[in-house]
């Protein structure tokens, strides 16, 4: 619990989590607080430095988020980014003015003086600008550290006081020297020693969970996905025996998946309840082929089952969720308690009266969540799991979902994952789909009239766009042979050669 801390004060900027992550990448612990956090509370964190985020406001707006002069007089180094720099300048007596036009995009920046923030960085750099207001006069003790053609105060600093500001965004990859700027602030200015690692994060979260929950009890909807699994592992360490995980097995998991989730979590210090609800889900989906309807039915039934189980348990004060940073961005709102919707737990807090929500992974990026999971001893096949839709195989079965179709797809999918999973150069996501097409085939001397399986394998950075993977024919051949030989009921295999867009990753 001794690692050095950088505080990130948030003024409504869209990049605050990214800034916090960049600091963690430099092996320094970072913590995000609201921009208007009282100074005493800030001091309580004993930070080695403070970063002020950007934000959409103008420092002159009536409701502009702010801080006090004292923040800059504590002797703690401060780096203001964009709005953060303008705010610092405004509070310390500089001149900030409304710009006539906005400056947005990558631009060339010239570093004009020798200083600790830009030490070792080439004098000309491409940086990302995104602002309308601009600085027109500096506070006392400050000098210009960088300029662009449209912005004479692209970076400013008062080296003696340890106060720096950059109009550009060092946290985004579009600013080529951004990593070095953040590194320099941390190591040249704040005196960071790089003492943060993932076990430190875990220790801090354990302490926070204990402080929040006290002697009370926590309920977690465990889907078996990476996020809820890591959340469960963390809770079992923080408050052993006061966490109950309800794993609603809707019957649409992949081969052996539900059993392995049970095997892993029933060994941990928590109460693990597996509810086999496959009959119920299948009954609700009878005759339904529309994918959106399937999703809605599965979501509603999930809540129904979870709710029943929670009521049987009696009073549980906290609901835990494996919300991560991506979920917060997707929801577009980080001020309220975000309820993760994709795994069908959205709506639960309205039905069950929880005292609070515990979200220990909030703010972490997916790769960081995986690192936490590995550190907590979760097996790599679980931690490295591919993305998997909450409604599971039900949306990878085109048309009506039946138990027989689920079984067919489970077997075919296991073969696809086994064959492609052996390759060194793996796609980011690969799986099988059971199409609704049946066609004539011939097996031995007999005629068949069986289903067609489609194989999907994509490369992607963010799943918003994706390219189909150029899988070697030999691998496709093995997959096709094995599926048609080993899975009775499938006589044809096709490979999806469509990118996203125009297609999506899932077929649905």
Residue 386 DSSP symbol:
P
Which structure tokens are listed for 484? Answer: 């048609």
Among 463, 478, 494, 499, binds ligand XMP (CB under 6 A): 463
Question: Any idea which residue has 């900027």 for tokens?
Answer: 13
One of 90, 131, 169, 343 is an active-site residue; which one? 169
Q: Decide if 169 is catalytic.
A: yes
* Residue 390 interacting with ligand XMP (CB under 6 A): yes
Q: Considering only residues 166-185, where is the footprint of ligand XMP by CB under 6 A?
A: none
Q: Is 23 in the site for ligand XMP (CB under 6 A)?
A: no
Q: Is 505 in the site for ligand XMP (CB under 6 A)?
A: yes
| Stretch in the footprint of ligand XMP (CB under 6 A) among 162-170, 264-272, 347-355, 384-392 | 384-392
Q: Is 82 among the residues known to form the active site?
A: yes
Query: Which of the ranges 196-204, 269-277, 314-322, 382-390 carries the binding residues for ligand XMP, by CB under 6 A?
Result: 382-390
Q: Whose CA is closest to 432, among 407, 410, 450, 451?
A: 410
Q: Is 389 in the site for ligand XMP (CB under 6 A)?
A: yes
Known catalytic membership, residue 411: no
Query: Which residues ranging from 320 to 359 are in contact with ligand XMP (CB under 6 A)?
Result: 342
CA distance 179 to 138: 26
Torsion of CA 71, 72, 75, 76, to 10 degrees: 70
Q: Is 385 in the site for ligand XMP (CB under 6 A)?
A: no
Figure out which of the listed residues 66, 346, 387, 489 binds ligand XMP, where binding follows CB under 6 A.
387
List of residues 6+ apart from 295 with CB closer than 8 A: 391, 395
Of the pair 387, 489, the CB lying nearest ligand XMP is at 387
With contact defined as beta carbons under 8 Å apart, do 449 and 488 qualify?
no
CA-closest candidate to residue 244, choices 256, 232, 252, 254? 232
425 binds ligand XMP (CB under 6 A): no
Residue 498 as a binder of ligand XMP (CB under 6 A): the answer is no
459: contact with ligand XMP by CB under 6 A: no
Which of 171, 180, 301, 411 is an active site residue? 171
> Judged by CB under 6 A, does residue 496 bind ligand XMP?
no
Short-list 146, 185, 136, CA closest to 168: 146
Nearest alpha-carbon partner for 386 in 344, 432, 349: 432
What is the CA 357 to chain-centroid distance, rounded?
Answer: 18
- In the set 82, 231, 245, 406, the catalytic residue is 82
Which residue stretch of 77-85, 406-414, 476-484, 498-506 sits at the interface with ligand XMP (rule: CB under 6 A)?
A: 498-506
Beta strands in 228-361 (DSSP E): 243-249, 271-276, 318-320, 356-358
94 binds ligand XMP (CB under 6 A): no
Joined together, the tokens standing for residue 225 give 């996905």
Pairing of strands 49-52, 143-148: unpaired
- Residues tagged active-site: 82, 169, 171
Chain residues in the site for ligand XMP (CB under 6 A): 342, 387, 389-391, 429, 463, 500, 504-506
């Amino acid at each position: 619990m001794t690692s050095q801390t950088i505080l990130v004060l948030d003024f409504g900027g869209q990049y605050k989590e990214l800034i916090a992550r960049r600091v963690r990448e430099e092996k320094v612990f970072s913590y995000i607080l609201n921009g208007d956090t009282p100074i005493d509370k800030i001091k309580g964190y004993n930070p080695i430095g403070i970063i002020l985020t950007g934000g959409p406001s103008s420092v002159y707006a009536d409701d502009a988020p702010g801080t006090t002069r004292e923040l800059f007089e504590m002797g703690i180094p401060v780096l203001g980014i964009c709005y953060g720099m303008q705010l610092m300048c405004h509070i310390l007596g500089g001149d900030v003015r409304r710009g006539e036009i906005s400056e947005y995009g990558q631009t060339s920046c010239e570093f004009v003086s020798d200083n600790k923030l830009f030490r070792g960085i080439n004098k000309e750099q491409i940086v990302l600008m995104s602002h309308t207001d601009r600085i027109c006069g500096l506070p006392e003790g400050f000098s210009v550290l960088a300029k662009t053609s449209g912005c004479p105060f692209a970076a400013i600093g008062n080296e003696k006081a340890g106060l720096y500001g950059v109009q550009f965004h060092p946290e985004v990859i579009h600013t080529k020297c951004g990593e070095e700027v953040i590194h320099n602030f941390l190591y040249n200015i704040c005196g960071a020693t790089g003492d943060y690692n993932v076990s430190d994060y875990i220790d801090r979260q354990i302490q926070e969970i204990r402080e929040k929950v006290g002697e009370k009890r926590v309920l977690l909807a465990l889907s078996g996905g990476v996020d809820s699994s890591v959340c469960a592992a963390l809770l079992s360490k923080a408050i052993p025996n006061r966490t109950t995980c309800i794993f609603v097995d809707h019957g649409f998991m992949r081969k052996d998946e539900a059993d392995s989730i049970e095997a892993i979590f029933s060994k941990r210090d928590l109460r693990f309840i597996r509810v086999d609800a496959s009959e119920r889900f299948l009954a609700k989906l009878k005759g339904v082929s529309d994918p959106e309807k399937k999703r809605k039915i599965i979501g509603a039934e999930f809540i129904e089952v979870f709710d029943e189980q929670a009521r049987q348990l009696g009073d549980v004060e906290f609901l835990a969720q494996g919300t991560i940073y991506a979920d917060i961005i997707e929801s577009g709102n980080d001020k309220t308690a975000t309820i993760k919707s994709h795994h069908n737990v959205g709506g639960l807090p309205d039905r069950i009266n929880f005292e609070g929500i515990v979200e220990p992974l909030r703010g972490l990026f997916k790769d960081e969540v995986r690192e936490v999971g590995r550190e907590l001893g979760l097996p790599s096949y679980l931690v490295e799991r591919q993305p998997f839709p909450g409604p599971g195989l039900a949306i990878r079965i085109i048309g009506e979902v039946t138990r027989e179709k689920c079984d067919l797809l489970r077997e075919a999918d296991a073969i696809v994952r086994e064959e492609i999973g052996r390759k060194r150069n793996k796609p980011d996501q690969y799986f099988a789909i059971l199409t609704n097409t049946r066609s004539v085939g011939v097996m031995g001397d007999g005629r068949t009239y069986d289903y067609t399986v489609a194989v999907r394998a994509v490369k992607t950075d963010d799943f918003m766009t994706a390219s189909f993977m150029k899988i070697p024919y030999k691998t496709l051949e093995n997959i096709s042979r094995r599926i048609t030989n080993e899975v009775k009921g499938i006589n044809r295999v096709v490979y999806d050669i469509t990118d996203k867009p125009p297609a999506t990753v899932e077929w649905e």
